[in-house]
Amino acid sequence: MSKMQSCRTMFMLTNATLAMVLTLAQACTPATTEDPSAIDITKLTVMDLRQRLASGELSATRTTHAYLERISRLDKAGPKLNAIIEINPDAPAIATSLDEQLAAGGPLGPLHGLRLAQR
């Protein structure tokens, strides 16, 4: 084996070992409780949102405000995507009502409290 091949092999073994150590370290790291205010709601799946709404970790009001802020930042200002033609002005009030219904008797259906946009 040439010196170049030997160095290349050592480099690859070192990287593979480092990758295994990092993977094991990540797997052994205890789960931390997420700060609800630090959650980027716009990156959650529908299932994640449903679970967090059901557990009380999130609210329809909070998700509504997060999406209205995102629309304002990306659609009306910033890159001005103009993807949203109209926003229901009653959305915050509807979200509050949905939160109250959820607290009083549970969700009305599988999409209870989730934000929707129509094309």
| C-alpha to C-alpha distances, 67 to 28, 51, 63, 85, 87, nearest whole angstrom | 35, 18, 6, 14, 11
Position with higher pLDDT, 118 vs 9: 118
Q: How high does pLDDT run on average in the chain?
A: 74
Find the domain containing 81 and state its range. 34-119
Same domain (yes/no): 16, 73: no
The count of domains in the chain is: 2
Position with higher pLDDT, 9 vs 68: 68
> Looking at residue 1, what is its pLDDT?
62
Closest of 39, 69, 42 to residue 55, by C-alpha: 39
Farthest CA pair distance, the chain: 74
Same domain (yes/no): 116, 59: yes
> What's the pLDDT band for 93 if we cut at 50, 70, 90?
very high
Residues 27-73: tens digit of each pLDDT: 444 444 445 456 788 788 888 988 888 888 889 999 899 889 888 88
Question: pTM of the predicted model, to two decimals?
Answer: 0.61
Same domain (yes/no): 53, 24: no
Same domain (yes/no): 64, 115: yes
